[in-house]
Amino acid sequence: MPFLGQDWRSPGQSWVKTADGWTRFLDEKSGGFVSDISSFCKKDDHNKENLFNSINYDVAAKKRKKDLLNNKAKTQYFHQEKWIYVHKGSTKERHGYCTLGEAFNRLDFSTAILDSRRFNYVVRLLELIAKSQLTSLSGIAQKNYMNILEKVVQKVLEDQQNIRLIRELLQTLYTSLCTLVQRVGKSVLVGNINMWVHRMESILHWQQQLNNIQITRPAFKGTTFTDLPLCLQLNIMQRLSDGRDLVSLGQVAPDLQVLSEDRLLWKKLCQYHFTDRQIRKRLILSDKGQLDWKKMYFKLIRCYPRKEQYGDTLQLCRHCHILSWKGTDHPCTANNPETCSTSLSPQEFINLFRF
């Protein structure tokens, strides 16, 4: 007997719903053992109507699916549930194998990029996929990847924020594609080579758009950053987690240039991102015999990964192995689901699908 929930009707066969249940219906030309086709049509009009409705439904469903997966479509393939079951094992009742492409299609990244708390997380995830995981994505997942990337670029063009971050992402993706397209004979990418060349042209166009951005100064006559006391300016600068932002801020005004060179500022930045052991291995002395924390920072980021911090992340439920965004309801049977969730970094998300 089939176990509960199993679909025992074999694919590729026609079935007719009768008063006694579902009955297999085969054409004579197919070599099936059922030859009295008229018997199914003569029983009553209900069975006949049921058969043709079933056929029409299958044709319509296949057509909708084909249109949805068309490469020319600009919309992302959405699922009703915004969570996905992730597990490396399978049982008779549950298919546990899940790919990175499936998770990328199922989780709502298009909406996530509109949330400032999740934006950097999604961008970092897109960067990691661009570096090493493009070939593990299915065709529809690769199309979704490009659609989400286009939405990210459009958001940056409108908001004029995170420009450098997206420039680096596009450059990483373009470099990876140049390498993969050269090996297209080995079937490392899904789809026609012309399609990928077109996508590379789109990336170059986005890069050009970002390079042409002109930051407009807002017409604001109130208190500016330089009007604040020096202690407050330093306190705000200490909140910047990227040394390149400090350098850029120092180029705005001569007074900010002096503040951006503060040794204590760069020392705290080094201690935030790196361990004491890592710092001791990359000591640099200035001409005055003091530690040059600024030079040490830029040397350390070339040797070690920086500390990542995000406002919101994807979470994995340890009880039911379901992956979702924080605050997304999922069918968890735990008494207290909140205590079962573990936040995942972008790299940990990628590692979930390495079998």
pLDDT tens-place string over residues 312-336 = 888 888 888 888 888 777 777 777 7
Q: What is the pLDDT of residues 21-70, one digit of tens each?
A: 777 655 544 444 444 444 444 444 444 445 445 544 454 555 545 544 45
Which tokens belong to 89? Answer: 């094992």
Which tokens belong to 108? Answer: 């709502």
> Residue 126 has what pLDDT?
94
- Whether the per-residue pLDDT at 1 is higher than 90: the answer is no
Which tokens belong to 270? Answer: 């080094």
Quick one: average pLDDT of 287-313?
89
Helices vs. strands in the chain: H and E counts, helices first:
15, 6
- 3-class DSSP state of 230: helix
> Residue 54 has what pLDDT?
52
Is the full-model pTM beyond 0.85?
no
> Residue 173 has what pLDDT?
94
DSSP letter string, 283-328: --B-TTSSB-HHHHHHHHHHHSPPPP--SS-EEEETTT-EEEETT-
> Under a CB-based contact definition with an 8 Å cutoff, are residues 113 and 89 in contact?
no
Interior angle at CA 81, CA 191 and CA 60, nearest 5: 60
> Residue 207 has what pLDDT?
94
Q: What is the pLDDT of residues 107-142, one digit of tens each?
A: 888 888 988 889 999 999 999 999 888 888 888 888
Determine how many CB atoms are found less than 10 A away from the CB of residue 333: 7
Q: How far apart are CA 45 and CA 18, in angstroms?
A: 11
- Whether the per-residue pLDDT at 230 is higher than 50: the answer is yes
- Residue 28 gets which letter from DSSP? G
- Residue 88 gets which letter from DSSP? S
Which tokens belong to 59? Answer: 């044709």
Most confidently predicted of 64-73, 92-101, 180-189: 180-189
> Under a CB-based contact definition with an 8 Å cutoff, are residues 47 and 15 in contact?
no
Determine how many CB atoms are found less than 10 A away from the CB of residue 150: 15
Q: How far apart are CA 91 and CA 35, in angstroms?
A: 39
Of the pLDDT bands very low, low, confident and very high (cuts 50, 70, 90), residue 3 is very low
